[in-house]
Amino acid sequence: MKTGIIDLITKNRSYRRFFQDVEVPYDALESMIEAARLSPSGANRQPLKYIICQDGKGKTGREIFDCLVWAAYLKDWDGPVEGERPAAYVVVLGDTAIASNFGIDAGLSIQSLLLGAAEKSLGGCIIQSVKRDELAKVLDVSAGLEILYVIALGKPVERVVIEQLPADGDFKYWRDEQHVHHVPKRALKDLIIAEK
Ligand SMILES: Cc1cc2nc3c(=O)[nH]c(=O)nc-3n(C[C@H](O)[C@H](O)[C@H](O)COP(=O)(O)O)c2cc1C
């Protein structure tokens, strides 16, 4: 059995279907952003800012949802249906008054945030495919802030399993008839390319 950090990282899959009615408490969202705050930052500039939308079902939550593109590989799926949509969102922004590019800060902070979610038996999905101009209007984002990613959050309703990459090397995730989401991961032996 996996323990410790590997267990938590294994639990931290990309979840795209949620119990929409199960609220994510504000404290939980704040503590996820605390995990992001404590993450590494290039030159320690800490240029990231966050917008919380706790009410995924409210007007703003619905407007955020309309700005997102889900699971591009699942061609016959348009994203979560009503009732399985995210219960909350965290929008990650870059403050251009602090930095002109955001390097890997967002990736590191978001992973911390999502591990914080996994620790609370919540889950989420990083969304990069965002209609940014529309979302900036919805959220009334000021000119010096760049929308980087949207993190969809909630209590996952779906099962996500990791599996080996098939023989043909296809890395696309897929869903089976039971709606279980399968994520092929390359084998460790194929990643460690040398021992010198
Ligand atoms: C930088 C980045 C951008 C992503 N953007 C999207 C997105 O726009 N829409 C989406 O449904 N999933 C998105 N994902 C989720 C990936 O599809 C997911 O991480 C991948 O399929 C592997 O699954 P796993 O996170 O469970 O390991 C993104 C992930 C990353 C790291």
Q: Are 128 and 71 in contact (CB under 8 A)?
A: no
CA distance 123 to 127: 13
Measured in Å, residue 14 CA sits from the centre of ligand 1 at: 6
The three-class DSSP label of residue 133 is helix
Q: Is ligand 1 within 6 A of the CB of residue 92?
A: no
CA distance 49 to 51: 7
Residues 6+ apart with CB under 8 A from 107: none
- Report which ligand 1 atom has the smallest distance to the Cα of 71: 11
| Site to substitute for ligand 1 among 126, 180, 182, 185, most atoms within 8 A of C-beta | 126
Measured in Å, residue 195 CA sits from the centre of ligand 1 at: 30
For the chain of 196 residues, list the mean pLDDT of each consecutive stretch of 10. 86 98 98 98 98 98 98 96 98 98 97 98 98 98 97 98 97 97 97 97
**Residue of the CA atom closest to atom 19 of ligand 1:** 14
CA distance 61 to 123: 17
The three-class DSSP label of residue 21 is coil
- Report which ligand 1 atom has the smallest distance to the Cα of 129: 8
Q: Which residues of 122-140 are buried (b: 16+ CB within 10 A; e: fewer)?
A: bbbbbbeebeeeebbebbe
pTM of the model: 0.97
Q: Is ligand 1 within 6 A of the CB of residue 162?
A: no
User: 182 forms bridges with which residues in the sheet?
Assistant: 161, 174
CA angle (171, 176, 178) in 5-degree steps: 150
pLDDT, residue 2, reads 63
pLDDT, residue 24, reads 98
CB burial of residue 187 (10 Å; 0-12, 13-18, 19+) = exposed
